[in-house]
Amino acid sequence: MIRHPQILANEVLLESDHPSAGRLRQTRAPARFSGTPTGLRYPAPDLGEHTAEILSEAGLVRADIDALFASGAAQGHRP
């Protein structure tokens, strides 16, 4: 399927290097516009990479976030 002539002609697949997952292949954005080109700006986050940031944006203070990590209720990259 990924080597189908139509897939290749439409350049449907993009390849990129992810810092922890290695070489990845994924589909490009379905629509293309000459004035606003699309592409991969940054790789997908690792599991839990933004946990602390999201909890903070949800209104939790640093002590509460630390407690969630310490108890195992939250996992990922600690602040």
Across the chain, which has 79 residues, the per-10-residue mean pLDDT values are: 84 86 86 81 86 96 95 86
Whole-model pTM: value is: 0.60
Q: Domain extents for the chain?
A: 5-31+46-71
- Which residues, 6 or more positions from 14, have their beta carbon under 8 angstroms from its beta carbon? 25, 26, 27, 28, 39, 40
Q: Please tell me the chain's helix, strand, coil percentages from 3-state DSSP, rounded to the nearest 5.
A: 30, 15, 55
- CA 47/CA 64 separation, integer angstroms: 20
CA atoms within 13 A on the CB side of 38: 11
What is the biggest distance separating any 2 CA atoms in the chain, rounded to whole angstroms? 55
pLDDT number for residue 58: 97
Q: What is the pLDDT of residue 79?
A: 65
